[in-house]
Structure 1
Amino acid sequence: MLDAINPPTSPPYDSGANTPLLSSQADGIPPSDPVQPPAISLDSPSDTTTSSTSPQTQQQQGEDDDPALKRHKPGPVAGKKPSAEALQRRKEGRIKAAATLAQNLAKTGIGRFETENGFGLTSVKTIPLINQKNYFTEYLKKDEQVGFIRNWRHERALQQKLKKLKQDQAAAQGQAQSQGQTPGVLTPLNGAGDKKGEIRNFDDFNLNEIEAEMKKEMTAEVVVDDDEDDDEENETEEIREEKAKIGEDVIILQPGTRYIRIGKATDAVPMVVPNVIAVRKDGKVPKTDEIMPARQLDDGDGDIVIDEDFDAQKAVMTKDFRARMRFYKRRVLPNSRETVSNFNRKREPEKIHDHNDPNKKEWIKGEKEFYVGEDALKLVLNDGWVLRHPMINGNFNEYSYDYESREEVLGDLANIIKVCLEQLEISNIPKLKVMLLIPDLYDKSYVETWVELLFKFVGFGRVGILQEAVAATFGATASTACIVDVGAQTTKISCVDEGMIINDSRILLNYGGDNITETFIKLTLEDQFPYKDINLIDSYDWELAQELKEKFITFQDADIAVQLYDFYMRHPFKQTEKYEFKVFDEVMLAPMGLFFPKIFQLGKKKPSIPNYHASAVSNKLTVDRLFPKSLDQYTSKPNNPSSKSQEELRRQLNYCDLTDEELLLKLTGEEIPKDATTEGDERLYDVPLEKAIIESITNAGLSSDLSKIKKYYDNILIVGGGLAKINGYDLLLTDRLNIWRPKILSTSALGDIVAHLNGEVKANTAKRQALIEEAEQKIKDSLPPEQQQALQADQQQQQQQAEIELPEETIEKINNETELKLDIEYIDELIEKNGQHLPVTILPSPREFDPSMITWKGGSVYGRLKVVNEMWITQKDWDLLGSRCLYYKSIFNY
């Protein structure tokens, strides 16, 4: 009897090829009729399991259906078990069949490799758990982790490699020429062991960077930082020439309200260009009928008067002026003003022909798209042209009616700078670096907009920023000083200590030289100025007023007398006229407005009103800011830098106007009742200059070191063109500082006074705390035992002393007992024993240098230092990080 066919234990697979007969099949089965393995379904494992568990049943069904098998296969004998030999043969057949099937499947590439395919369950890596208690990070805590710092160091290393490679190449060529070899072929000089001569071996260098850089920069001069340890005696001529060329690619830019100063760092003086541009306007430009300054005629005699407020402030200034003249024993004639008015009232202009005009002005007719600087002021402003000033009050002129978008403002500034670069014959702008001088108390939006302008509108390769006060100290060769920058429309005060500005000493006053010009014209008009139709809105008349101010105003009280002067009035459509006029004290009262700023009458003018140069009528119904304020990205609050001095002056809390008791309380940090100020107006226009200087120096000493106050008073430097160009300003400013400086702040014992006050405050605080604890203990003792136990339970549960509400009468009694009582007599004794009077010294301009250019000159000196290489911001850095570059690249805390 033939044994039954047993299927293999492994599930059969259809390999797609003809599977040979299994060796375990019976010999009686014809070879032409093989048994087909069942089809495998890949839908689910259950199908496979079903197929693998029922092959015997399927085989038996096939044998019953086949008549051939029925004839050759005898039926089973009832009750007879298969022999052990048959069972062993079946087992071996099944094993052999399974091996054959697995071999056939392996040849066709079908199989299950659960542990060998290498595929993970997910592409996201599992983050291992960490112990945060013992974990720390150094992310962004080192300079090496900042991208552009790494790039800068990489460029520096590349430059050093280039320099070394050039030196080795030059040495090899020189030695090759001396040995008679071909100069172009570089061979080892001293064999393989001499590393200096192995020019062909570039393994020590990065060829991808160095060779490409050498091809571009072989003819250009590469500025390389010299080692600090180099001995000057060993310097070659090439090194000296290389040092002399440092700064050739650095442009120093100082944008101002009235002028822009620009030039190379190697230039002796900058190019000074008026910050004005004349552009074409479509259609007819409407003119305004407004006259500046506003005036009216007296009903009685027809004389010109300004207004009652101006006359009141003029009377205060005149009283102070006459007191000064008496102190210095200067004689003042009582009827001098009447003499001046009677003379000017009768004067008539004299017509001057062109050939008799000594300084004839050549007018320009508009042929270009725009004119900048002096050319714009010489342009005949007929229909279709408008004169625009892109800056006002030290910031962008965003409120002017001549500008409708921020791009117009930035475009005008870019055109002015480009024309200046053309006049300086500076080309290849993308390879140049520019050092931008910014105000000390800056507006972040202003600084970031300027950097964007220099990158995108002008196209400089690198930009750095430097504060003006720091630049002024470099220009004056002083490490510690109080910088007073009186400009055209702003006055900035800052104390600089060893190259760093004391933040709490920064003050920005919104008046300057232009206000002196306007006040001078007002004073002369009240003295019946012969040119009665002068209008400061007109650009030609404004230039005339500036010329009169620069020629005639003075602080020399010895020169104050009735003086006769003349001037020429030039207009493009009129014949030149010569005027003669007399002046008396107007030449000194006008600049004294810096110490009496109320005469400028800036409180009546809103900050949105354009300056005297608006050539178009008002066409804006609402005032819009073209440049948004800088806000913190998390809190949406303004994040511009602040100053303690600026805030206290805005609240009318300057040291000079306080009594001795209030001054001592302020030195201890006690709050003083605030005066109401104008809401929404951030300008500071009514604080006299000398009081602002005292405020700045005092807060600088309190913020850093009180011993530095003496240095600040010994080194007061006046820069800018608003005050420093007036003859005799130093003596008058010194007198004003000595008059208004309080006795406590003018002594060297200020440190002892502050220490005594701090001790009194500390003792008073301890006394107050002891009285409060004593009063609380009395209340506790007066409570019933149950409440005392409950109070102690709450105290133990909260692990702190329970608060007990004291009655108002007790609090008032404690306040009266612990009121800080200052002993003024003891303070006076400290001043007499330990103190000396602090002198005031106004530093003269160094080497008779123009004081308006000192700041720019200091920037040019700074631009040639080694440290400036760490301050440059590239276009790539700015596009990647934006204003964050200024935080990393500036030497101050931006």
Structure 2
Amino acid sequence: MSSQDQPHPPTSPDKSETETPANETPAGATTTTTTENGDDSSSKRHKPGPSVGFFGSRLHNVAAFLPANFRPLTIAQNLKKTGIGRFEQENGFGLTSVKTIPLINQKNYFTEYLKKDEQVSFIRNWRTERALQQKLKKLKESGAQIDEKKFEDIKNFDNFDLNDIETEMNKEKEKAAAAAAASGGTAGTAADADDDEEEDEENETEEVRQEKAKIGGDVVILQPGSGFIRIGKATDAVPMTVPTVIAVKKSTPKHHDKSKPLPERHENSDGDIYFNDEFDEQRAIVTKDFRARMRYYKRRVLPNSRETAANYNKKQEPERIPDHNDPYKKEWINIKHYPNRTSFVGEDALKFPVDENWILRYPIINGNFNEYSKDYDSPEEILGDLTTIILDSLDKLQIKNLTHLKVMLVIPDLYDKAYVETWCHILFKFIGFGRVGIIQEAVAATFGAGASCACVVDVGAQTTSISCVDEGMVISDSRMLLNYGGDQITETFIKLLLENSFPYKDIDLVSSYDWELAQTLKHNFITFQDADIAVQIYNFYKRKPFETTEKYEFKVFDEVMLAPMGLFFPQLFQLDKPTSIPSLSTSTKPRNSIIKGRLIKPAADQYSSKPNNPHSKSQEQLRTQFLITLNCLLLNNYSNQLLLTKPPLQSQDNLDNIPLEKAIVESITNAGLAPNSDLGKIKKLYDNILVVGGGLAKISGYDLMLTDRINIWRPKFLSSTAIDSIIEYVQQEIKATNDMRQQFIDEAKVKYQEEGQQIEDVELSQEILDSIEAKTQVKLDLEYIDSISDQGTLMPVNVLPPPREFDPEMLTWKGGSVYGRLKVVNEMWITQKDWDLLGSRCLYYKSICNY
């Protein structure tokens, strides 16, 4: 090839003037078309790119005719000159200075976080304390002299050091070895040695006895309630009972309108007292049931008995009793003798003559904090009153050094988390206990009664709780909380007496003195014994501060039985009307037993901020009045339609009208239907109904009345031991119906299936589905179910008596004291360090209930 034929390298003129894109022809230049065999130099300098199609060629031609300043290359060159272009490739800087971390292959690593007991601080601390106790025991056994004064107050081992104890033990061992070497031989005969061994065994036995006696000496049991707070050491036989009330001085005096005594009453033209038509209607219903019961037990009721008692009462006048003749004279507190006192607690508050400068405050109502009271303006006032009451009780019990003591708090079965956590805060921060543990009331009651399985019915002052306990655990779906108790019985009893011309017509239950009188009348006279129902004459003493005592005589008839029967006819209590109970009358929401957040923040989930209080299937069914019937038990429960998939309701209205016996049947049935349970447990629970609290258990004849009421209302199929056969029959019917429904659906899909369409893709209209549903309703043969029920035997109802005639009011507290002395409870104590570190999470780790 000649030099002329060689391709000449292109010259390098100024880029800004001659540089063009590779696929673009400069303006004014002519394009040269080369043939397949052509060797034109222009074809070698400009190689055509890949074809871009029709639109690409058109755009290429359009770009050739654009003005120079609108061409992309020109624009890019201008931006480069001004220095505002993008130059990622030139400066080499990345988008971030953080290096990307490569992913870890999960097959090559694992974690043991929170998979071992040693990783939980609670368990580590508990094991350390146990090791300390064992070393101290060995130190005592080795004969070492221990400074008792140094260790007598230390109960929680928070300040102990293992190394110090080991050092002291080694020193004692060295001393013992040196003494043995110096003796050089044995002294005494074998008989003497045997005598010494026997004496050592006797001494060890005595020490063991002393140690067992000391167990629980550092444990305080606390059971707060609406009416009373019970507190005492676990080693005490009975607790101290303190009324949950405190008298405080008010900066702003409040005057009580004494012109209208409560309960509010009306007087007709004949001078008879009445309340309202609804009360009279409910009284007539209860009276009808009472007379039917008397006829069933062949008890004779004399006609006009009520009128006879009323006529006698109208003629009665009070008899003034001098102080020296008053058998139960009450010593009132004279405020002039205590000029510096700012509060009076418990019994002293009830002995205090309240005037316009003082007021009685009730920090707990309905088993919860009285945060809707008009007398409390901040949560600190509620917590301060409770702290004052407890500290005053501890002083009277001579319990000191609280930081070295433990307290077992008895909490409700269907508890409010904010209530429990606030109590723990009070016990740690305000009172100063070293350790806190919790136990539910029903579990404590079973410990006190010595029963492993029971249906616990706790009728308290203002609430009634029902829970089923099996092997020391509360069955969650069996828990119930009703809004009535012993105080409602007292109020209704006074109403019935007033309608029967009670001689003390001006009784005002809001007054603490008259309320105490009403409680005394209830405790002395109400009964469920049919044989005691007759016109009887009684008397009582009216006492007021610094006034002469007055004695009244009056007659009663059926009022003594109608009032407690309100537990089985709650409409008689008229819970939707304004109340005259002193503690409830101070609250704007006396029937509300759930913390809403006026003063105390309600419990909520940390992530969703939704209420996270425990709920019960039985409680939710009561709120909707959806009680156990044949259909709902046999069909709905076994088709999983009653599972609690919705958040618990906050309405309390229906809880006011649920009779006690129906609630018991509901609780026991749900306990038998609970997961991981069996229907055989129902018979066991009916045979072990444990009634505690002072609202019902202290009324004579309550066991027979409760047994009759349960047998009256309990459906036949729930009373038979063949209930498992009934459930099996119903399950078979439900399965057959479901199979038939699926068969009809498959046939309808085949009928409406189009060509080439899969049968799974066929969608039926709602009308077709409704027609199939109507054809496949579950139909049960009730006569056959009746015949199955007849094959079984009647499940007996047995109400357990209190053990060894123990006071049923104290039974729950006594069970807490038994529980607090068990060795296993050493794992359940929460220390102040634990509470400061984890707060309410401690209750999740350190309680036997599913907190």
Q: Which category of TM-score, normalised to the shorter sequence, fits these structures?
A: 0.7 to 0.9
State the distance in 2 between where 1:559 and 1:425 align.
44
Is 2:239 aligned against 1:282?
no
The amino acid of 1:330's aligned partner reads R
Is 2:276 aligned against 1:307?
yes
Residues 525/163 of structure 1: CA separation in 2 closer, same or farther (3 Å cut): same
- Cα deviation for residue 807 of structure 1 reads 2.6
- SS in structure 2 opposite 1:582? strand
- Cα deviation for residue 662 of structure 1 reads 4.7
Correspondence list, 1:534-553, <5 A: 534-553=507-526
- Cα deviation for residue 192 of structure 1 reads 13
Is 2:421 aligned against 1:448?
yes
- Cα deviation for residue 809 of structure 1 reads 3.7
Q: Is the 8 A contact 2:322 2:548 kept in 1?
A: yes
State the distance in 2 between where 1:555 and 1:333 align.
18
Correspondence list, 1:875-886, <5 A: 875-886=832-843
- Cα deviation for residue 830 of structure 1 reads 1.9
- SS in structure 1 opposite 2:372? coil
Choose the corresponding residue for 1:707, options 643, 658, 680.
680
State the distance in 2 between where 1:172 and 1:632 align.
50
Q: Is the 8 A contact 2:373 2:586 kept in 1?
A: no
State the distance in 1 between where 2:585 and 2:249 align.
13
The amino acid of 1:866's aligned partner reads K
Residues 187/616 of structure 1: CA separation in 2 closer, same or farther (3 Å cut): closer
- Tell me the equivalent position of 1:681: 652
- Tell me the equivalent position of 2:486: 513
- Cα deviation for residue 805 of structure 1 reads 2.3
State the distance in 2 between where 1:416 and 1:858 align.
23
- Cα deviation for residue 171 of structure 1 reads 9.3
- Tell me the equivalent position of 1:668: 638
The amino acid of 1:686's aligned partner reads N
- Cα deviation for residue 745 of structure 1 reads 0.3
Is 2:554 aligned against 1:590?
no
- Cα deviation for residue 372 of structure 1 reads 0.8
The amino acid of 1:306's aligned partner reads F
- SS in structure 2 opposite 1:603? coil
State the distance in 1 between where 2:583 and 2:290 align.
32
- Cα deviation for residue 815 of structure 1 reads 1.1
State the distance in 2 between where 1:245 and 1:626 align.
41
Q: Is the 8 A contact 1:392 1:611 kept in 2?
A: no
- SS in structure 2 opposite 1:495? strand
Is 2:799 aligned against 1:806?
no
Q: Is the 8 A contact 2:624 2:654 kept in 1?
A: no
Is 2:195 aligned against 1:237?
no
The amino acid of 2:422's aligned partner reads T
Is 2:395 aligned against 1:422?
yes
- Cα deviation for residue 128 of structure 1 reads 7.4
Q: Is the 8 A contact 2:722 2:788 kept in 1?
A: yes
- Tell me the equivalent position of 1:874: 831
- Cα deviation for residue 244 of structure 1 reads 1.1
State the distance in 2 between where 1:668 and 1:809 align.
27
- Tell me the equivalent position of 2:334: 365
Is 2:661 aligned against 1:690?
yes
Superposed CA offset, 1:499-556 (max 9, x none): 1111000000110000000000000000011110001101000000000000000000
Runs of 5+ unmatched residues, structure 1: 1-122, 174-183, 195-231, 793-800
Q: Is the 8 A contact 1:771 1:814 kept in 2?
A: yes
The amino acid of 1:255's aligned partner reads P
Correspondence list, 1:188-227, <5 A: 188-190=175-177
Choose the corresponding residue for 2:133, options 159, 170, 190.
159
State the distance in 2 between where 1:670 and 1:145 align.
40
- Tell me the equivalent position of 1:841: 798
State the distance in 1 between where 2:580 and 2:540 align.
28
Choose the corresponding residue for 2:782, options 815, 818, 824.
824
Q: Is the 8 A contact 2:411 2:438 kept in 1?
A: yes
Is 2:123 aligned against 1:149?
yes
- Cα deviation for residue 705 of structure 1 reads 1.3
Runs of 5+ unmatched residues, structure 2: 1-96, 148-170, 182-200, 591-595
Correspondence list, 1:56-205, <5 A: 129-132=103-106, 136-170=110-144, 187-190=174-177
What RMSD in Å do the two structures reach over aligned CA positions? 2.9
Residues 570/270 of structure 1: CA separation in 2 closer, same or farther (3 Å cut): same
Range moving further from structure 2, 755-764 or 492-501: 755-764
What's the TM-score once normalised by structure 1's chain length?
0.75
Q: Is the 8 A contact 2:372 2:588 kept in 1?
A: no
Residues 242/617 of structure 1: CA separation in 2 closer, same or farther (3 Å cut): closer
Residues 693/869 of structure 1: CA separation in 2 closer, same or farther (3 Å cut): same
Residues 478/680 of structure 1: CA separation in 2 closer, same or farther (3 Å cut): closer
State the distance in 1 between where 2:473 and 2:783 align.
38
- Give % identity: 65
- Cα deviation for residue 755 of structure 1 reads 2.0
- Cα deviation for residue 758 of structure 1 reads 1.8
The amino acid of 1:768's aligned partner reads R
Choose the corresponding residue for 2:297, options 305, 310, 328.
328
The amino acid of 1:274's aligned partner reads P
State the distance in 2 between where 1:683 and 1:361 align.
42
State the distance in 2 between where 1:817 and 1:390 align.
59
Number of positions where the alignment pairs a residue of Structure 1 with one of Structure 2 = 700
Residues 560/192 of structure 1: CA separation in 2 closer, same or farther (3 Å cut): closer
State the distance in 2 between where 1:506 and 1:616 align.
28
Residues 820/683 of structure 1: CA separation in 2 closer, same or farther (3 Å cut): closer
State the distance in 1 between where 2:653 and 2:761 align.
42
**Which structure: larger Rg?**
1
- Tell me the equivalent position of 1:338: 307
Residues 248/630 of structure 1: CA separation in 2 closer, same or farther (3 Å cut): same
Q: Is the 8 A contact 1:388 1:614 kept in 2?
A: no
Correspondence list, 1:754-769, <5 A: 754-769=727-742
State the distance in 1 between where 2:765 and 2:453 align.
54
Correspondence list, 1:711-860, <5 A: 711-780=684-753, 783=754, 785=755, 788=756, 791-792=757-758, 802-833=760-791, 835-860=792-817
Residues 262/522 of structure 1: CA separation in 2 closer, same or farther (3 Å cut): same
Residues 851/185 of structure 1: CA separation in 2 closer, same or farther (3 Å cut): closer
- Tell me the equivalent position of 1:68: none
The amino acid of 1:292's aligned partner reads L
The amino acid of 2:748's aligned partner reads A
Superposed CA offset, 1:606-627 (max 9, x none): xxx895247879899xx97211
Q: Is the 8 A contact 2:371 2:600 kept in 1?
A: yes
State the distance in 2 between where 1:124 and 1:429 align.
55
Q: Is the 8 A contact 2:223 2:410 kept in 1?
A: yes
- Cα deviation for residue 668 of structure 1 reads 2.8
State the distance in 2 between where 1:124 and 1:354 align.
92
State the distance in 2 between where 1:717 and 1:853 align.
13
Residues 268/678 of structure 1: CA separation in 2 closer, same or farther (3 Å cut): closer
The amino acid of 1:878's aligned partner reads W
- Tell me the equivalent position of 1:21: none
- Cα deviation for residue 153 of structure 1 reads 1.2
The amino acid of 2:669's aligned partner reads T
- Cα deviation for residue 665 of structure 1 reads 2.5
- SS in structure 2 opposite 1:602? coil
State the distance in 2 between where 1:678 and 1:612 align.
29
Residues 767/363 of structure 1: CA separation in 2 closer, same or farther (3 Å cut): same
- Tell me the equivalent position of 2:265: 295
State the distance in 1 between where 2:359 and 2:176 align.
71
- Tell me the equivalent position of 1:28: none
